[in-house]
Amino acid sequence: MPKAILYDSTLCIGCRACEGGCAERWGLPYNDKIAAEETISAHKLTTVETHGDKFSRRLCMNCAQPACASVCPVGALQKTALGPVVYDASKCMGCRYCMQACPFQVPTYEWSSRLPKMRKCDMCYERQSAGKVTACAEACPVGATKNGDRDALVAEARQRLAEKPDQYYQKIYGISEVGGTSVLYISAVPFEQIGLRTNVPQEPLPETTWRVLELVPDVVSTGSVLLGGIWWITNRRAEVAKKEGRRR
């Protein structure tokens, strides 16, 4: 049963407890200065963004079919059955294709390090494997961030939208975006007004490259026969020409 996070922007009070919980879980420093940064970075894996009187969280969406994991040449990123997309820093060679490929611009890099790693939220894989909720969900005092089974959270989101139709924009972000994500958003206003990308494709992104990559065996087999054949013909022609030339 894949896990998910439901973030309800209408409940969020912008207290940033999720940021603190996340920093503690990763062992990252957290103070007022870092709290004031409203962008995710290698030292801040989740953030609360202010959009007028509305709030919005940014964290890894842990996509159902993650572009980052599909593009990683060394398989350092893996989608787990539990839901989180996990990262093995010991494999990573730092090509940063995951950062380029991510439609949500989530992966961040330790730019100033001499031996840098990529950093991103992994939806508290160890905590969730041990049956605990994510650090952000545990820290949230108002239930704006909720962690649980994805199906149950989708049902709950639908129920909230149905019960208070005038308080919610009637859509759930993350249901079909890039083929579905583990983080689901509901909000009072259309999602672009709380800083979410609404121009992302509704299909899983790995398909875009796989369509071409799966042709590699075709190119190799057809190509080698074709080129070998052409070589054989031109070579034969040269041989024949040479023999005939000698006889004359």
Partner 1 sequence: MTRKFPKITVWRVIFAAIMLSGLYATYLRVFYGLGGSTNLSDKFPWGLWIGFDVMCGVGLAAGGFTLVAIVHIFRIERYKPVLRPAILTAFLGYVLVVVGLLYDLGRPDRLWHPLVMWNPRSVMFEVAWCVTLYTTVLFLEFLPVVFEKFGWHKPLEWIHRISVPLMILGVLLSTLHQSSLGSLFLIVPEKLYPLWYTPILPLLFYISSIAVGLAMTIFESWHSSRAFGRALELPLLASMGRVLAVVLSVYLWIRFLDMSHRHVFGLLALNRVETWLFALEIALMLVPALLLYQARVRLRPGALYACAVMVVFGFIANRLNVGTTGLEAGSGTHYIPRWSEVAVTLSIVAAGFAIFRAIAQYFPIFEAHSLEQAPAEMEETEADAVAVG
Report the site for partner 1 in 54-83 (rule: CB under 8 A): 67, 70-76
Told to check if 92 binds partner 1 by CB under 8 A, we report: yes
Task: Count Cβ atoms below 10 Å from residue 155 Cβ, excluding itself.
Answer: 11
Out of 33, 211, 247, 248, name the contact with partner 1 by CB under 8 A: 211
What are the distances in angstroms from CA 124 to CA 21, 105, 127, 156? 11, 19, 5, 22
CB of 166 to partner 1, least distance (A): 32
Which residue is associated with the tokens 């494997």? Answer: 129
Out of 36, 52, 113, 131, name the contact with partner 1 by CB under 8 A: 113
Report the site for partner 1 in 162-181 (rule: CB under 8 A): none
Residue type, 186: I
CA distance 139 to 18: 5
What are the distances in angstroms from CA 3 to CA 96, 98, 123? 27, 22, 9
CB of 64 to partner 1, least distance (A): 15
Told to check if 199 binds partner 1 by CB under 8 A, we report: yes
| Residues 80 and 198 sit within 8 Å (Cβ to Cβ) | no
Residue 248 DSSP SS3: coil
Told to check if 86 binds partner 1 by CB under 8 A, we report: no
Which residues have a Cβ under 8 Å from the Cβ of 247 and sit 6 or more positions away?
none
Told to check if 197 binds partner 1 by CB under 8 A, we report: yes
Question: By C-beta, is 110 or 138 nearer to partner 1?
Answer: 110
Out of 11, 95, 152, 188, name the contact with partner 1 by CB under 8 A: 95
CA distance 246 to 83: 74
CA distance 72 to 151: 28
Question: By C-beta, is 81 or 93 nearer to partner 1?
Answer: 93
- For residue 20, give the nearest of 39, 44, 1 by alpha carbon: 44
x/- map, 26-55, partner 1, by CB under 8 A = -------------xxxx-------------
Told to check if 206 binds partner 1 by CB under 8 A, we report: yes
Site residues, partner 1 (CB under 8 A): 39-42, 67, 70-76, 91-97, 99-101, 103, 105, 107-117, 197, 199-201, 205-206, 208-213, 216, 219-220, 223-224, 227-228, 230-231, 234-235, 237-238, 241-242, 245
